[in-house]
Amino acid sequence: MASPAANMKIDGDRLWDSLMEMAQIGPGIAGGNNRQTVTDEDGEGRALFAKWCKAAGMSMGLDTMGNMFARREGTDPDALPVYVGSHLDTQPTGGKYDGVLGVLGGLELIRTLNDLDIKTKHPIVVTNWTNEEGTRFAPAMLSSGVFAGMHTQDWAYAREDADGKKFGDELARIGWQGDEEVGARKMHAMFELHIEQGPILEIEGKDVGVVTHGQGLSWTQVTILGKDSHTGSTPMPMRKNAGLGMARVLEKVEEIALSHAPHAVGAAGHIDVFPNSRNVIPGKVVFTVDLRSPDLAVIEDMEARLAAAVKEICDTMGLGYEMEKVGGFDPVTFDEGCVSAVRNAAERLGYSHMNLISGAGHDACWINRVAPTAMIMCPCVDGLSHNEAEEISKEWAVAGTDVLLHAVVETAEIVK
């Protein structure tokens, strides 16, 4: 028997308008966004989201990590809520959709249920997780990680940005530190809609990715210590060039990742060179090696080979070094029931779909440890993300959000 809401669809124009309005906050320098976590701009984005949630009749919860929980009541006071959501923070040169689509797609599904006067047995909660990006304060997915019990809150509060500011102080400063105990909430299920951030869906011509797994990640921060000295007058044999040591390590990172092709990747996106002056040989470099694979044994092998390479290179060159693991999570297998709800929704709605492994980390990767979880992905142009030129079409956003709506409503159970 067809469900009473079998044909319901979200309002694509309203979703798109909200995405564009949010993108006005924390504009980047090339058409994207710089709305980094717990900045004034993040505070402004949160206030806009909170205003929209209130207008949609939802109540707002705020926990001690600044995670926002906008709730639409269900008809059964004892039923656990179905959660949806993602993050509103961006990279320093981020796009308009990474994370934002999952939060505003969640809001749009609530607005649609309101328009159609559809009630669900389970409440639905739309979440904005704090500091997903991990760019200002490592690691990524910091607050969903605390929520899932992977990090302590004290450790998270003490994380420092490049200026030595602490995460906890900055969260309090922007006024979005709540009283609710982090991680106390119980979830019936959680769904995260996200752009793919890779090229597969576009190449395959599919509307929707049904995310079955997420690849694991390892972040090792490496500090190499040499000696600051004049670039012109220090003889080549007398140099202790930390920058050169890093260059040799990065060649090894490429080689190590390629040795596990095609399912492993490695790079350093964070590099600080000291003193960063044109005519001083760098006496210190600090960089973070990002290694990823869907296979835990491969990640462990790459970590061990990285450690050996740093030791060998630095010992040979007479440089000092330190290594610290600053982030990581094991490969993820999403919940079969939630994954089926996503696949069934795409099927019923007539959207073409395929299974995907997420290449990026997501809040869903941590929440999967404490609740049944799945993800939905939509294509993005040329697979480009973490770039201000990140782009999606309105049709792709609509397909993903329609699937989110149907998967959530099926799980939250329509009351006839």
Of the pair 210, 409, the CB lying nearest Mn ion is at: 210
Of the pair 198, 243, the CB lying nearest ligand GLV is at: 198
Q: Find the shortest distance in angstroms from Cβ 179 to Mn ion.
A: 27
Q: Find the shortest distance in angstroms from Cβ 99 to Mn ion.
A: 4
Residue 80 CB burial class (10 angstroms; 0-12, 13-18, ≥19):
middle
Q: Find the shortest distance in angstroms from Cβ 125 to Mn ion.
A: 19
Q: Find the shortest distance in angstroms from Cβ 176 to Mn ion.
A: 19
Of the pair 133, 170, the CB lying nearest ligand GLV is at: 133
274: its two tokens: 């000291």
Q: Find the shortest distance in angstroms from Cβ 360 to ligand GLV.
A: 3
Residue 106 binds what, of ligand GLV, Mn ion, none (CB under 5 to 8 Å, by partner type)? none
Provide the terminal-to-terminal Cα distance of the chain, rounded to the nearest Å. 13
Residue 140 binds what, of ligand GLV, Mn ion, none (CB under 5 to 8 Å, by partner type)? ligand GLV
Residue 361 binds what, of Mn ion, ligand GLV, none (CB under 5 to 8 Å, by partner type)? ligand GLV
Query: Distance between CA 245 and CA 135 in Å, rounded?
Result: 24
**Chain positions contacting ligand GLV, by CB under 6 A:** 133, 140, 360-361
Tokens 């709800």 belong to 341
Residue 403 binds what, of ligand GLV, Mn ion, none (CB under 5 to 8 Å, by partner type)? none
Query: Distance between CA 101 and CA 108 in Å, rounded?
Result: 10
Of the pair 42, 98, the CB lying nearest Mn ion is at: 98
Residue 399 binds what, of Mn ion, ligand GLV, none (CB under 5 to 8 Å, by partner type)? none
130 CB contacts (<8 Å, ≥6 apart)? Answer: 37, 38, 65, 66, 67, 87, 89, 142, 143, 171, 176
Query: Distance between CA 291 and CA 218 in Å, rounded?
Result: 5
128: its two tokens: 């904005």
Query: Distance between CA 126 and CA 373 in Å, rounded?
Result: 14
Of the pair 65, 341, the CB lying nearest ligand GLV is at: 65
User: Phi then psi for 24, rounded to 5 degrees?
Assistant: -70, -20
412: its two tokens: 């939250």
Residue 99 binds what, of Mn ion, ligand GLV, none (CB under 5 to 8 Å, by partner type)? Mn ion
Q: Find the shortest distance in angstroms from Cβ 98 to ligand GLV.
A: 7
Of the pair 177, 385, the CB lying nearest ligand GLV is at: 385
**Chain positions contacting Mn ion, by CB under 5 A:** 98-99
370, 332 Cβ separation under 8 angstroms: no
